[in-house]
Amino acid sequence: MPSALSLIGLRKTFGSKRAVDDLNLEVRAGCLFGLVGPNGAGKTTTLSMATGLLRPDAGTAIVLGHDVWSDPARAKALMGVLPDGLRLFDRLSGGELLHYVGLLRRVPPADIASRSAELLEALGLAEDADTLVVEYSAGMTKKIGLACALIHAPRLLVLDEPFEAVDPVSGEAIRSILRGYADSGGTVVMSSHVMELVESLCDDLAVVAQGRVLATGTLDEVRAGSSLQSRFLELVGFHASGQEALAWLRSSSGSS
């Protein structure tokens, strides 16, 4: 199976901090791929470099055979991206925003109208299609961002925390959209902190920490007989705090 996304020797340093450290990753086409790691592991930095939003210090990112940094137009046309801290044109309504993004992505106007209606309905935003995005809640903003990433029917979706702030009903809708998309040959790369979600949704995954891949493969290969939560804690080196930690916080040791 060919790779939908290849990251080869990606590196990024901020000041003295090596955020991504010669990272290599292969994501096979048609799979739902989870990227997990502790806070500050380098997930967002990796996804930003993979999607052409942040220039790497070294290394390359290849999307379906196209180098993101030397052939950005071709590579980006194949991708739908939900970045971290997405800035939207929030003085547009949800419907207007989708129309605008559809035009930018060169989707025929008749298709924009039908796709927008379907996306807004599927994501539970139909009633808010005429509401300005600036008035959307965090979860609604995440969902309209996802709709914008989908409108041109990309072949690779790169989603930074797509379920963050999303309610359970919309979460189910997103799961079903992503599963159907991958089952029909699309590829999804998504970061998440929720192990149960990755375990129940993703086919393959990578665990990253300190800018490096600690383990990657199919879910069963990475879990190696444990739950993903246990395996994750084992890989990233979790140590429970001793009894003395935060002792002052316990009501029995308080002053009043």
Ligand X SMILES: Nc1ncnc2c1ncn2[C@@H]1O[C@H](COP(=O)(O)OP(=O)(O)OP(=O)(O)O)[C@@H](O)[C@H]1O
State yes or no: residue 165 binds ligand X (CB under 6 A). no
Structural contact between residues 219 and 228, judged by C-beta atoms closer than 8 angstroms = yes
Interface stretch with ligand X, choices 14-22, 130-138, 219-227, 237-245 (CB under 6 A): 14-22
State yes or no: residue 14 binds ligand X (CB under 6 A). yes
State yes or no: residue 213 binds ligand X (CB under 6 A). no
Q: Name which of 6 and 45 has its Cβ closer to ligand X.
A: 45
Q: Name which of 225 and 237 has its Cβ closer to ligand X.
A: 237
Q: Name which of 45 and 170 has its Cβ closer to ligand X.
A: 45
Tokens of 159: 């989603």
Q: Looking at 42, 80, 102, 186, which residue binds ligand X (CB under 6 A)?
A: 42
Going by C-alpha positions, the residue among 77, 1, 56, 48 that lies closest to residue 191 is 48
Q: Looking at 40, 65, 180, 217, which residue binds ligand X (CB under 6 A)?
A: 40
Alpha carbon of residue 178 to chain centroid: 12
Q: Name which of 101 and 214 has its Cβ closer to ligand X.
A: 214
Closest separation between CB of residue 38 and ligand X, Å?
Answer: 7
State yes or no: residue 51 binds ligand X (CB under 6 A). no
State yes or no: residue 37 binds ligand X (CB under 6 A). yes
Q: Check residue 88 and report its DSSP letter.
A: -
Q: In this structure, which amino acid lies at residue 29?
A: A
Q: Check residue 123 and report its DSSP letter.
A: T
State yes or no: residue 186 binds ligand X (CB under 6 A). no
Query: Which residue has tokens 């992503």?
Result: 178
Tokens of 54: 């942040």
State yes or no: residue 43 binds ligand X (CB under 6 A). yes
| H or E element in which residue 80 lies | strand 79-82
Q: Check residue 240 and report its DSSP letter.
A: P
Number of other CB atoms surrounding residue 256 within 10 Å: 3
Query: Which residue has tokens 């220039």?
Result: 55
Q: Name which of 107 and 205 has its Cβ closer to ligand X.
A: 205
Q: Check residue 93 and report its DSSP letter.
A: B
Q: Looking at 5, 6, 33, 45, which residue binds ligand X (CB under 6 A)?
A: 45
- The contact set with ligand X (CB under 6 A) reads 14, 17, 19, 37, 39-45
